[in-house]
Structure 1
Amino acid sequence: MIILDQQYVSRELRDWLNSGRVPVLRNAAALAVDTEGRFRLVSDDEADALLAAGERIYTTCENSLSWICAHASGKALRDGIAICKDKAAFRRMLAAQYPDFFFLEVPADELEKLDFDTLKTPFILKPSVGFFSVGVYTIASRADWDAALADIRRSSARWSADYDASVVGTSSFILEEYIRGDEYAVDFYYDSEGRAVILNIFHHEFASFEDVSDRLYVTSADIIRDHLEAFTVFFDRMNEQMGARDMPLHMELRVDGGRIIPIEANPLRFAGWCVTDLSLYAWGFRTYDLYLRDQRPDWDSIFESREGRLYSAVILDPPADLEYPLREADFDYERLCADFQNVLELRRIDYRNGGPVFGFVFAETRADERGELDRILLSDLREYLR
């Protein structure tokens, strides 16, 4: 079963749901997208019965987690959601594996009372419940700390208006040591026996040490081959404590000298804003389709025709100093696409009416000619504003 949210439903997902094979919760988002009346819509009562019978569930946005926690009959599912969404609880669960890792949960109204001189820098400051790099700051100095606190005061009301409290909660924040190494985002699920099945691995690239944006995610045959076994072993070990079954997850982690250090786990979804659809263009399958059908990718066969290629998701986040919402900006999508070798998909977002980004680009790039990715990673996108 799938629960849609009004935040974003991709064309790829909508077209797949038109087959009517997969039940879709009847809500406002589903009715708005099902313009041809071809979805297999189910009521709350029907959805409850499906969940009770063991139907797997997938969401496009974590706004739906409140509904699931209210309707799911299984305690394990509710517990899995809770421990993933609460970053402090997630850290506590893994504390025995990382005894030297520093983290501290602080109520939002206590942040300004902390003695900055007692804190070990660099560290990351972020909401205990979060999404999409909202409210995430790299703190290396007192100036960074003061700027972060000022931005939290300025932005908290907007975050609360844009996201359900189960997605971005601003009542408390977590301070955790800066995790060094390369960052990856992984779409995977736990099967009925609690074993991890990886469906995609993205390398999250950054422009600098201070950068915490979601601008560029890259996947390739080499990236998946290099990390598939180690990540699978790590997720299986993590689940010895979680006990998850039949659950999709979007996991962010870093690898430093071969050591895997988790950042956060996002339950019942894959890459947000339907960015998980990149797998359709890169690997020829939909991640949510394989999860719901309990299927595994045949990576060796998939890679045969995709060597030497990078597949990227580019998130077109606006310059930080543009006034929000971006009612006056005019973004030149055609010029942007001309700067890529092969645009596989362009998704325009209605930024003039509050959309947080200009859009998304899925691109295919030759691995030995990746200059376009390096350029877009460093660009503030002003060159595309008219």
Structure 2
Amino acid sequence: MILLDYPYTSDFLIETVVRNQFPVVATPEAKEILLGRNAKLISEKEAIAFIKANPLQPVYTNSENSIAWIQQNLKETSLPDKIETFKNKFRFRELIQEFYPDYFFKSASLIELRNLEISHFKFPFIIKPAVGFFSIAVHKVDSPEDWQGIVSKIEVQMEKTRSLYPKEVVSNTDFILEEYISGEEYAFDCYFDQNGNPVILNVLHHVFSSEYDVSDRVYYSSEEVISKLHQPILDFLHQIASKIDLRNFPLHIEIRETEPGKINPIEVNPMRFGGWCTTADLTWFAYGINSYEYFFHSKRPDWEKVFEKRKDKKYSLILLDNQSDVAQEDIAYFDFDAIAKDFEKPLHVRKVNMDKFGVFGFLFTETSKGNEKELDEILHSDLKKYMVLKVKN
């Protein structure tokens, strides 16, 4: 069963749904997305009854937006509680605490922050909303002297949300204060099969241009990345499985490798793979693995076979966002043909509405070992060279 929702559903996912006739819950959003397609739509009432009667039915959604539908309509199932376990960062840290006994984390409400005694905390640490429905109020605290200034910033940021959320929600927002995790950052898609066994579908290295870079410009996958982290990730997933019953359950997880072979999770996103149909679609363009079909058909990648013909290659997901000083309203269009020509082997160019979504699109590429310069250049580029500006009168 699939829940399709905005902001974005890729043509590849839609084609997969139609070709396999995967049942799609007929929400208003799904009907709009699949308009004119020969998809197998199931009424919301029928879908709710079927999932309640078949609690191990695989359910996948491409968007965080659909979680509200699950929480509202499937209260009698275990899905809402499992989702909350991962969405609430403090609750998830409690779940895995025994595996990271020295890891510092603490919960505090918004009104408690001002008078919180932090002198004995482990520095640096990160403070962020425990449930990520805000994209704001995430800060790194380097020393006790920084605290009051950061709390002031958080209070201002949260005040701005009062027009979007009820006062009770904002005032009662819980925060998690947790140890800063150093190391190389990675993201991966996975699922637990009907027997509760974890299956890894891809692993990507999130590359930054500097220690101050927080962008999502470049992620890449390769034989080296997957081979290095496959077993540590499996061990981590088995730890999760020992704490919570997960069957036919997909996840997108961000981690850091703190030491060779040792990983620590940053964030866990339930019920889906990477947002905007990015990481799952890259797995197809790169490796010929359809992550959606693998999940619903309970298939496992044969990595040895996959890499027989993909030696010394890097497969990248590149976010084309505006990091220049050019105002969006001054851009006539983005030259996708020009940027594609600057890469050895573009696999797919995904164009999106810049005015609506704030990014130009995504680029999926294959890069040979020794030609990583093209990835380094795009990592540091503000993309201004690909922007065609409007003619001013």
TM category (shorter chain) comes to 0.7 to 0.9
Query: For the residues of structure 1 that align with 2:344 and 2:171, how far apart are their CA atoms?
Result: 39
Query: For the residues of structure 2 that align with 1:362 and 1:264, how far apart are their CA atoms?
Result: 24
CA offsets per residue over residues 228-254 of structure 1, 9 Å max, x none?
122112201221012211100111111
Would you say 1:344 and 2:324 are equivalent positions? no
Structure-2 residue corresponding to 1:293:
297
Which of the numbers 349, 365, 373 marks the counterpart of 1:371?
373
Structure-1 residue corresponding to 2:10:
10
Q: How many Å apart are 1:5 and its aligned residue?
A: 0.8
CA offsets per residue over residues 25-60 of structure 1, 9 Å max, x none?
112222222232311011111111331223210000
Amino acid aligned to 2:28: A
Secondary structure of residue in 1 paired with 2:47: helix
Which of the numbers 108, 114, 123 marks the counterpart of 1:106?
108
Query: For the residues of structure 1 that align with 2:359 and 2:140, how far apart are their CA atoms?
Result: 21
Taking the TM superposition and a 5 Å limit, the aligned residue runs for 1:319-330 are: 319=323, 326-330=328-332
Q: 1:321 to 1:295 in 2, by over 3 A?
A: same
Secondary structure of residue in 1 paired with 2:101: coil
Q: How many Å apart are 1:271 and its aligned residue?
A: 0.7
Secondary structure of residue in 2 paired with 1:273: helix
Which of the numbers 258, 271, 274 marks the counterpart of 2:274?
271
Query: For the residues of structure 1 that align with 2:33 and 2:26, how far apart are their CA atoms?
Result: 11
Contact 1:122 1:177 in 2 (8 A): yes
Contact 2:110 2:171 in 1 (8 A): no
Q: How many Å apart are 1:118 and its aligned residue?
A: 6.0
Q: 1:94 to 1:278 in 2, by over 3 A?
A: same
Contact 2:136 2:157 in 1 (8 A): no
Q: 1:282 to 1:256 in 2, by over 3 A?
A: same
Query: For the residues of structure 2 that align with 1:273 and 1:365, how far apart are their CA atoms?
Result: 22
Contact 1:219 1:310 in 2 (8 A): yes
Q: How many Å apart are 1:216 and its aligned residue?
A: 1.4
Contact 2:186 2:205 in 1 (8 A): yes
Q: How many Å apart are 1:157 and its aligned residue?
A: 5.0
CA offsets per residue over residues 307-336 of structure 1, 9 Å max, x none?
11100111123338777xx44434333332
Contact 1:105 1:175 in 2 (8 A): yes
Amino acid aligned to 1:277: D
Would you say 1:196 and 2:208 are equivalent positions? no
Q: Which moved more, 1:311-320 or 1:179-188?
A: 311-320
Amino acid aligned to 1:340: F
Query: For the residues of structure 1 that align with 2:266 and 2:315, how far apart are their CA atoms?
Result: 23
Query: For the residues of structure 2 that align with 1:77 and 1:61, how far apart are their CA atoms?
Result: 15
Query: For the residues of structure 2 that align with 1:290 and 1:213, how far apart are their CA atoms?
Result: 30
Would you say 1:234 and 2:236 are equivalent positions? yes
Structure-2 residue corresponding to 1:36:
36
Q: How many Å apart are 1:96 and its aligned residue?
A: 1.7
Amino acid aligned to 2:199: V
Secondary structure of residue in 2 paired with 1:304: helix
Which of the numbers 291, 307, 314 marks the counterpart of 1:303?
307
Query: For the residues of structure 2 that align with 1:170 and 1:195, how far apart are their CA atoms?
Result: 37
Structure 2 gaps of 5+ residues are none
Structure-2 residue corresponding to 1:57:
59
Contact 1:315 1:360 in 2 (8 A): yes
Query: For the residues of structure 2 that align with 1:156 and 1:344, how far apart are their CA atoms?
Result: 44
Q: Which moved more, 1:370-379 or 1:302-311?
A: 370-379
Q: How many Å apart are 1:346 and its aligned residue?
A: 1.5
Query: For the residues of structure 2 that align with 1:156 and 1:321, how far apart are their CA atoms?
Result: 28
Q: 1:371 to 1:35 in 2, by over 3 A?
A: same
Q: 1:151 to 1:237 in 2, by over 3 A?
A: closer
Aligned sequence identity (%): 37
Q: TM-score, normalised by structure 1?
A: 0.88
Q: How many Å apart are 1:76 and its aligned residue?
A: 3.2
Query: For the residues of structure 2 that align with 1:106 and 1:293, how far apart are their CA atoms?
Result: 42
Query: For the residues of structure 2 that align with 1:332 and 1:311, how far apart are their CA atoms?
Result: 22
- The alignment covers a number of residue pairs equal to 379
Contact 1:87 1:129 in 2 (8 A): yes
Taking the TM superposition and a 5 Å limit, the aligned residue runs for 1:167-186 are: 171-186=173-188
Which of the numbers 334, 338, 345 marks the counterpart of 1:335?
338
Query: For the residues of structure 2 that align with 1:85 and 1:265, how far apart are their CA atoms?
Result: 7
Would you say 1:153 and 2:175 are equivalent positions? no
Would you say 1:219 and 2:221 are equivalent positions? yes
Q: How many Å apart are 1:349 and its aligned residue?
A: 2.1
Q: How many Å apart are 1:345 and its aligned residue?
A: 1.3
Contact 2:6 2:65 in 1 (8 A): no
Amino acid aligned to 2:291: T
Contact 1:4 1:30 in 2 (8 A): yes
Q: 1:3 to 1:135 in 2, by over 3 A?
A: farther
Would you say 1:281 and 2:291 are equivalent positions? no
Would you say 1:46 and 2:46 are equivalent positions? yes
Query: For the residues of structure 1 that align with 2:281 and 2:74, how far apart are their CA atoms?
Result: 27
Secondary structure of residue in 2 paired with 1:241: coil
CA offsets per residue over residues 352-371 of structure 1, 9 Å max, x none?
13x13221111111122111
Q: Which moved more, 1:20-29 or 1:38-47?
A: 20-29
Query: For the residues of structure 1 that align with 2:208 and 2:38, how far apart are their CA atoms?
Result: 41
Query: For the residues of structure 1 that align with 2:351 and 2:41, how far apart are their CA atoms?
Result: 27
